[in-house]
């Protein structure tokens, strides 16, 4: 089985396990997804959703965030961790949206990654889930699982993204990201992966994998 054949087989198998896999963050528009994704850094999506439930009622536009006091925004997002850095990134990011984009979230990789606190991962989340533009989201789960399955040998997220884009049809990029993220969270965990319950155990090339039950 070639790497490409394995990638296609893995995606097909995971489709059977997670047929309705989608992003876990709650949002109603690109701005809300942008803010939620920034808050999700080193924080669970469940926690972020609890915070944004009230946050999105208080701040409705990019201008609202840009004009927010640091102390006020920090207090609102405190429980997501690293709240000072996140508040600064959100305020600066939204100030740029107001100044350069009329308060709207742009829909190109170049424009998105020019915003404060937005890297390729965040940009691909927004493009794929709010703009309908395919992209591969590489977080810690996608990177780890892809290496264990032999779909990439790279550690750098951008290189992992490039490898996966070459292996999987463009129409499946967004779905693949969601499926691997769910799989990485629930089964192929960083510590004590549930190899005995793994639906794609036979395709795994990881030397550290456990026994198949």
Burial class (CB in 10 A: 0-12, 13-18, 19+), 86: buried
Return the CATH number of the domain spanning residue range 3-21+136-203: 1.10.1670.10
CB 159 within 8 A of CB 152: yes
- Respond yes or no: is residue 139 known to be catalytic: yes
- Respond yes or no: is residue 88 known to be catalytic: no
In the chain, ranges of CATH 1.10.1670.10 domains: 3-21+136-203
Q: Rounded mean pLDDT of 17-22?
A: 95
Tell me the whole-structure pTM to 2 decimals: 0.93
Write the DSSP symbol of residue 105. P
The contacts of residue 142 (CB under 8 Å, 6+ apart) are: 136, 160, 164, 177, 180, 181, 184
User: Angle at Cα 204 formed by Cα 199 and Cα 210, nearest 5°?
Assistant: 80
Confidence of residue 212 (pLDDT cuts 50, 70, 90): low
Rounded Cα distance between 51 and 63, Å, is: 19
- Choose the catalytic residue: 20, 45, 60, 139: 139
Q: What percent of the chain has pLDDT over 90?
A: 97
Q: Which two tokens stand for residue 2?
A: 């070639």
Q: Which two tokens stand for residue 160?
A: 């992992």
Q: Rounded mean pLDDT of 101-105?
A: 98
pLDDT score recorded for residue 211: 76
Q: Can you give the three-state secondary structure of 172-204, one letter per residue? A: HHHHHHHHHHHHHHHCCCCCCCCHHHCCCHHHC
Asked whether the CA dihedral 159, 141, 184, 45 is positive or negative, the reply is: negative
CB 134 within 8 A of CB 175: no
pLDDT score recorded for residue 130: 97
CB 111 within 8 A of CB 101: yes
| pLDDT greater than 80 at residue 105 | yes
- Choose the catalytic residue: 11, 86, 121, 163: 121
The answer regarding whether domain 30-130 maps to CATH 1.10.10.10 reads no
Average pLDDT, the chain: 96
In the chain, ranges of CATH 1.10.340.30 domains: 30-130
């Amino acid at each position: 089985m070639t790497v490409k054949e394995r990638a296609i087989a893995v995606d097909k198998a995971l489709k059977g396990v997670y047929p309705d896999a989608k992003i876990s963050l709650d949002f109603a528009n690109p701005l809300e997804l942008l803010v939620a994704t920034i808050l999700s850094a080193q924080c669970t999506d469940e926690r972020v959703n609890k915070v944004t439930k009230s946050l999105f009622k208080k701040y409705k536009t990019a201008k609202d965030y840009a004009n927010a006091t640091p102390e006020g925004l920090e207090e609102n997002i405190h429980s997501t961790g690293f709240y000072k850095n996140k508040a600064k990134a959100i305020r600066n990011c939204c100030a740029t949206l107001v100044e350069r984009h009329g308060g709207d979230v742009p829909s190109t990789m170049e424009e998105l990654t020019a915003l404060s606190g937005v890297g390729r991962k965040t940009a691909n989340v927004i493009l794929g889930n709010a703009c309908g533009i395919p992209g591969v989201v590489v977080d810690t789960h996608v990177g780890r699982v892809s290496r264990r399955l032999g779909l990439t040998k790279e550690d750098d997220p951008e290189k992992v993204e490039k490898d996966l884009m070459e292996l999987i049809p463009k129409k499946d990029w967004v779905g693949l990201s969601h499926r691997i993220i769910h799989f990485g969270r629930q089964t192929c965990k960083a510590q004590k992966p549930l190899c005995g319950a793994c639906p794609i155990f036979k395709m795994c090339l990881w030397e550290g994998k456990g026994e198949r039950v």
